[in-house]
Amino acid sequence: MDKPVVLIAEELSPATVDALGPDFEIRRCAGSDRKALLAALPEAHAVLVRSATRMDAEAIAAGPRLKVIGRAGVGLDNVDVSAASRAGVMVVNAPTSNIVSAAELTVGLLLAVARNLPQADAALKDGRWQRSRFTGVELADKVLGIVGLGRIGSLVARRMAAFDMRLIAYDPYVQPAYAQQSGVRIVGLDELLEQSDFLTVHLPKTPETAGLIGFDALHRVKPGVRIVNAARGGIVDEAELYAALKEGRVAGAGVDVFATEPCTESPLFELDNVVVTPHLGAGTAEAQERAGVAVAEAVRQALAGRFVPEAVNVRMGAVNGELAPWLLLAEQLGRLFTATAGGLPGVLQVQVSGEIGRHDVAALELAALKGTLTDVVEGGVSYVNAPLIAQERGLRTELLAGPDHAEHRSLVTVRGVLPNGEEVSVSGTLTGLQGRERLVDICGFEVDLPLTGDAVFFRAPDRPGVVGAVSEVLSRAGVGIDGLRLARTERPGEVLAALNVVGRVSQAVLDDTAARIDATRSWSLEPSGRAAAS
Ligand SMILES: NC(=O)c1ccc[n+]([C@@H]2O[C@H](COP(=O)([O-])OP(=O)(O)OC[C@H]3O[C@@H](n4cnc5c(N)ncnc54)[C@H](O)[C@@H]3O)[C@@H](O)[C@H]2O)c1
Ligand SMILES: O=C(O)CC[C@@H](O)C(=O)O
């Protein structure tokens, strides 16, 4: 019998092939060469990639035998996970394989930028002994602002504490008390920008984070700040960074990642105070070996037809049949909770009321937790890694069995109190013979909307004209409205406008609409993938 074909589409550690073993036919292609990739995919049962191969819907459709896509690294920005799920293709990655390497590269860039190491090296090798030209600054006693205190941000914090830096971080999804235990003070973005002597970015790239360090932020930074981005290109706006460096608002920058890669030409390359590397964060023997072996093992399991719990698009294993449809509802409510809150509480309560609560509903607690983390954590959240990720940021869950509900046979509520004392809650149920997910309540505003399509939400002053203004801005942007609900609570003066929309609402359109009605908050939820908020 023919062996299953594993297509290796990028340069991977030799340990990957060893870990795959003798049971597969290994083929290779250059995944960045689109034609070569599409030609090789039809016979592949598995494809292994890094970040240069685009496994989008077209590529997935070109592989009718595909069972698994293995991403030897963290980021899934080059893999269309939803398209893979629709095609029944498992996606596995290695989310912790290269975090130490990425943190160490960040430390290297911070030092290189502080002490002009590459510039001095180049000058000396060019025959110039220039000592005063390359006078740098110390790291000790300086404030390091960490934007995104996740896996890599935390490792950078630990390492830079040893350099006697003072550590602050902006990350609304990490508990301040928890960060404080590692000597990091959580602050707002403005405070971080104003106080940091060095700023390092460790965010996932999402609609919310793209361009976060752009025109506004780079005009608010402490003059003479040095900035490192070894996360994703485009989180720091390259054109704005160039302008800030030229004008001296920023004294130096270390850049490992670019908005378009490979990137061999950039105005940034002309500047003496910029140190660049070609996306080298994961470029160590150890990280490559770990990533290659991890995905090879997952691919072996997947092609043997075994359950691969780490897969990012795996559904929960065996659960009671009646409970299964409630899992997706709980996960969606978790995602909506985070988009609504714009942060995470110390304790996430999952309350299950009514008939469904008579089953063992522990799986709903896990599903809701997975949902709350999905749009803010890099590299996919699975049922397996969700509890660990929660633990790493000081988030606990609590499952409550609620009383029967007067209006709904069963109801799931996800609730929590944010560090600023604000309580956020979202409730939903399943309705009709098909068991469609419906949103019932957000923060005491009674809404009755399907929870399956794209939706946008605005909290705004209760004035005439909200509906007209929202409809006008959205329709001008080519977004159709499928359903709209204006909800109030007993608290006077505020409305919640909740809309089901046809077509994606960009962050810019969300912001424009919010500005038209003086909304105090606006947020959106996509059926799958990332939520946006402002
Ligand atoms: N240069 C490289 O080769 C390399 C290697 C590995 C990872 N990376 C990148 O590094 C980045 C960090 O990876 P990680 O594994 O630490 O991810 P992570 O998910 O563990 O951490 C990201 C953190 O960002 C926070 N966050 C999300 N949205 C935010 C927002 N809008 N505002 C503030 N904070 C927000 C999250 O709460 C989380 O704590 C990712 O972009 C990843 O792709 C780059
Ligand atoms: O080197 C790579 O393949 C990308 C590394 C890193 O950005 C990742 O997402 O894992």
- Average per-residue pLDDT in the chain? 94
**Residues linked to residue 481 through DSSP beta bridges, in sequence order:** 501
Predicted TM-score of the model (pTM): 0.90
pLDDT of res. 529: 53
Query: Which of ligand 1's atoms lies nearest the C-alpha of 257?
Result: 1
Cα gap 480→501, rounded to integer Å? 6
Which ligand has an atom closest to residue 192 CA? 1
Tens of pLDDT, residue by residue over 340-368, are: 999 999 999 999 999 888 888 889 999 99
CB half-sphere exposure, 504, CA atoms < 13 A: 11
Residue bearing the CA closest to ligand 2, atom 9: 75
Residue type at 333 in one-letter notation: L
Give the model's pLDDT for residue 109: 98
Sign of CA dihedral 114, 115, 118, 120: positive
74 lines ligand 1 (CB under 6 A): yes
Query: What H or E segment, with its residue span, contains residue 507?
Result: helix 507-516
**pLDDT band, residue 532 (cuts 50/70/90):** low
Give the tens place of pLDDT for each residue, 145-154. Answer: 999 999 999 9
Percent of the chain scored above 70 by pLDDT?
A: 98
With vertex at residue 73, the alpha carbon angle to CA 70 and CA 78, rounded to the nearest 5 degrees, is 70
What digits encode the pLDDT tens for the residues 199-247?
Answer: 999 999 998 999 999 999 999 999 999 999 999 999 999 999 999 999 9
**Contact criterion met (CB below 8 Å) for 202 and 153:** yes
From the CB of 290, is ligand 1 less than 6 Å away?
no
pLDDT of residue 429: 96
- Atom 2 of ligand 1, residue of closest alpha carbon: 281
Give the Cα separation of 198 and 137 in Å (integer).
Answer: 11
Are 339 and 532 a contacting pair, CB within 8 Å? Answer: yes
Using 50, 70 and 90 to split pLDDT, how confident is the model at 319? Answer: low
Hey, what are 384's tokens? 């397996």
Mutate to test the pocket of ligand 1, among 10, 51, 74, 261 (most ligand atoms within 8 A of CB): 74
Pocket lined around ligand 2, Cβ cut-off 6 Å: 50-51, 73-75, 98, 279, 281-282
